[in-house]
Amino acid sequence: MKKIVLFSLFCFALSGITFSQSAYADSLMKASLKRLESIPKYVCDIKILLDVEWINIKERTGKAYFYPPDSVNYEIKGFAFLPKKGYNDQLGAVTEGDYTALLLNKETISNVSCDVVKIIPSDIESDVVLGQFWIDSKLLIRKMTFVTRDEGTYNLYLDYGTEKYAVPKKVTVEFDIKNQELPATMTGDLESAGDEKPKGEKSKGRIEIYYSNYVFG
């Protein structure tokens, strides 16, 4: 009887700890999102570097125009590959509906100690099935990982400068990408016709975007 009582007390205490940790993770996430929501309209210079094995493109420069809450327009000199979804979009996809927040161990990202919060969206149909965020003591998100249903895993690393708002000076996006296969008759690339990689083979890609000269409106 005594054992049962002790076990029940243990379970109760454990559920209390778990609940409080989950509540803390949720409040941390919400506080971090609030910092992002406070970012006003801005324009800044950007520099884009793409690293995908089979895409050769030099550095591109231009301007980014941000309109709250989450719209970004680009003005790039020439043609450029940008991430399909910026960190605002991915963040919104995970946190706009109901979700469960879990607090994991602390980790260090770019020499900054961060709380790790795992977000599980309640919507079973959600494209993003899992999100994980590394949040520092200033409530800045240093890293995000999104596991998506169809497009593999995204990792976003954010470095910050000295700006007043939670805007990054550099965002690195890592993603999975399928090899592009085009018929030689369409491309005229008759020489490569025999040596394509296996269909649908995935490789890792990376985009680095450097932000500078922020002008807040």
Partner 1 sequence: MRTLLRSELFKITRRPRTYIGFGAILIIVLALEFAFYAEGETLIGLVFQNLESVFRLEGKIISVNFLTYMLLNVLIIHVPILICLVTGDIISGEAANGSLRLLLQRPYGRVNIYMAKWLAGTIYTIGLILFLALSSYVLGYLLFGEGDLIVFRKGIHVFEASDVSWRFVYAFGMGILSMMVVASLSIMISSFTSNSIGPIVGTIAILIVLNIISTVAVNLMQPVLPYIFTTHFIKWQYFFETEIEWSSIYTGVFVQIGYIILFTTIGLINFKRKDILT
Residue selected from 2, 111, 122, 194 as contacting partner 1 according to rule CB under 8 A: 194
Question: In the complex, what is the shortest distance from the CB of residue 67 to partner 1, in angstroms, rounded to a whole number?
Answer: 16
Show the site string, 149-168: x = touches partner 1 by CB under 8 A, - = not. -xx-----------------
Q: Which residues pair with 102 in a beta bridge?
A: 118
The C-alpha atoms of residue 182 and residue 197 are separated, in whole angstroms, by 11
Q: Should residue 74 be labelled a site residue for partner 1 when binding is judged by CB under 8 A?
A: yes
Give the sheet arrangement for strand 128-135, strand by strand.
71-76, 60-67, 42-51, 202-216, 168-178, 153-160, 141-148, 128-135, 112-121, 99-109
- Interacting stretch for partner 1, rule CB under 8 A, among 16-24, 32-40, 56-64, 163-171? 56-64
The C-alpha atoms of residue 87 and residue 133 are separated, in whole angstroms, by 11
Residue 74 and residue 44 in contact, taking contact as beta carbons nearer than 8 Å: no
Q: Should residue 98 be labelled a site residue for partner 1 when binding is judged by CB under 8 A?
A: no
- Interacting stretch for partner 1, rule CB under 8 A, among 12-20, 49-57, 103-111, 136-144? 49-57
Question: In the complex, what is the shortest distance from the CB of residue 122 to partner 1, in angstroms, rounded to a whole number?
Answer: 25
Q: Should residue 93 be labelled a site residue for partner 1 when binding is judged by CB under 8 A?
A: no
The C-alpha atoms of residue 88 and residue 80 are separated, in whole angstroms, by 20
Considering the complex, state which of residue 84 and residue 164 has its C-beta at the smaller distance from partner 1.
Answer: 84
Q: Should residue 177 be labelled a site residue for partner 1 when binding is judged by CB under 8 A?
A: yes
Q: Should residue 205 be labelled a site residue for partner 1 when binding is judged by CB under 8 A?
A: yes
Residue selected from 32, 42, 83, 115 as contacting partner 1 according to rule CB under 8 A: 83
Q: Should residue 56 be labelled a site residue for partner 1 when binding is judged by CB under 8 A?
A: yes
Residue 167 CB partners (closer than 8 Å, separation 6+) = 39, 42, 44, 160, 211, 214
Residue 202 and residue 167 in contact, taking contact as beta carbons nearer than 8 Å: no
Question: In the complex, what is the shortest distance from the CB of residue 179 to partner 1, in angstroms, rounded to a whole number?
Answer: 8
- Interacting stretch for partner 1, rule CB under 8 A, among 5-13, 30-38, 172-180, 208-216? 172-180
3-state secondary structure at position 86: coil
Q: Should residue 84 be labelled a site residue for partner 1 when binding is judged by CB under 8 A?
A: yes
For the beta carbon of residue 24, count every other beta carbon within 10 angstroms: 14
Q: Should residue 182 be labelled a site residue for partner 1 when binding is judged by CB under 8 A?
A: yes
